[in-house]
Amino acid sequence: MSRDERPKAKGRTAFGIDIGGSGIKGAPVDLRTGEFTADRVRIPTPQPATPPAIAQVVAQIVTQFGLRKSVPIGVTFPAVVRHGVAQSAANVDESWIGTDIERLLRAATGRQVLAVNDADAAGYAEVEYGAARDVPGLVMVVTLGTGIGTALINNGRLVPNTELGHLEVDGVDAETRASDAARERDNLSYADWATRLQRYFDELERLFSPDLFVVGGGVSKKYDEYLPLLHLRTPIVPAALRNAAGIVGAARLAAEAL
């Protein structure tokens, strides 16, 4: 598919909000470049991270920027999000499960909101503006953090909610062994962690045969410590947008959908 056939974003600016277990971050995004048009705001995630508590913080961030009503808003959420509804909850309160995130945030902000899985947003941003820009075929973005998030994008089209961090590898849920949190928990050297990553990426490669892997998440800035140790047929590169990716991808997806 050529770039012309891909979904188009309406308008020049959209607003992205990244809802995470420790912080809620928002910034306006220039849709032509994928860059922030103003400094990002970060507010610690309230504890417990319940729907009303998070909705209040999202409303505060939106108000702070004094956005025009026409600016689309996209939010990321660390869970399976089907048609705006959370189907799971990672690092946020269990009461999110079954919550219509879009309806909740529309009521809180008075605006249309699109809600998507966090890795899907980050992955889409890498395809539109980052490490996988102009890469044809199947791109798999893997975010290594508290959990493992995945995004599968084929010729610019996102297949949402792939949840391959939960792929069972050697009898266990992959993210419990190969996430960045697992590296820290088990006090692993980068070389030892790379052995676990090798096992995980081998499995992804065997099952999906992607054209490119992009590795995101906070630890992607240390990529030279572990990516060179991996031996795969598929090229593997670090994410380019780092911790901006979630905000940028959510903004972009909202501008295409709303």
Residues making contact with ligand BGC (CB under 6 A): 78-80, 88, 90, 117-119, 143, 145, 147, 149, 163, 165, 175
Written as one string, the DSSP assignment of 207-231 is: HH--SEEEEESGGGGGGGGTGGG--
Say which DSSP state 49 is in. Answer: -
In the bound state with ligand BGC, the residue whose beta carbon lies nearer, of 45 and 117, is 117
In the bound state with ligand BGC, the residue whose beta carbon lies nearer, of 49 and 90, is 90
Taking CB atoms, the residue at the shortest distance from ligand BGC is 147
Q: How far is the CB of 120 from ligand BGC (least distance, A)?
A: 8
Written as six digits, the tokens of 233 are 């047929």
In the bound state with ligand BGC, the residue whose beta carbon lies nearer, of 80 and 140, is 80
Spatial contact of 90 and 41, defined as CB atoms under 8 Å apart: no
In the bound state with ligand BGC, the residue whose beta carbon lies nearer, of 13 and 99, is 99
In the bound state with ligand BGC, the residue whose beta carbon lies nearer, of 142 and 258, is 142
In the bound state with ligand BGC, the residue whose beta carbon lies nearer, of 28 and 213, is 213
Q: How far is the CB of 233 from ligand BGC (least distance, A)?
A: 25
In the bound state with ligand BGC, the residue whose beta carbon lies nearer, of 71 and 247, is 247
Helix (H/G/I), strand (E/B), else coil: 181: helix
Cα(165)–Cα(196) distance, integer angstroms: 13
Q: Go through 208-230 and write b for each residue having 16 or more CB atoms within 10 A of its CB, e for each that does not.
A: bebbbbbbbbebbeebeebbeeb
Say which DSSP state 1 is in. Answer: -
Q: What is the largest CA-CA distance in the chain?
A: 51
Written as six digits, the tokens of 187 are 């006090």
Q: How far is the CB of 159 from ligand BGC (least distance, A)?
A: 14
Helix (H/G/I), strand (E/B), else coil: 95: helix
Give the alpha-carbon dihedral of 10, 245, 227, 187, to 10 degrees: -160
Written as six digits, the tokens of 137 are 């075929």
Q: How far is the CB of 143 from ligand BGC (least distance, A)?
A: 6
Q: How far is the CB of 146 from ligand BGC (least distance, A)?
A: 6
Q: How far is the CB of 166 from ligand BGC (least distance, A)?
A: 6
Q: Measuring CA to CA, which residue among 114, 94, 92, 96 is closest to residue 105?
A: 114
Nearest-5° angle of CA 248, CA 249, CA 255? Answer: 90
Written as six digits, the tokens of 60 are 């505060």
Q: How far is the CB of 23 from ligand BGC (least distance, A)?
A: 13
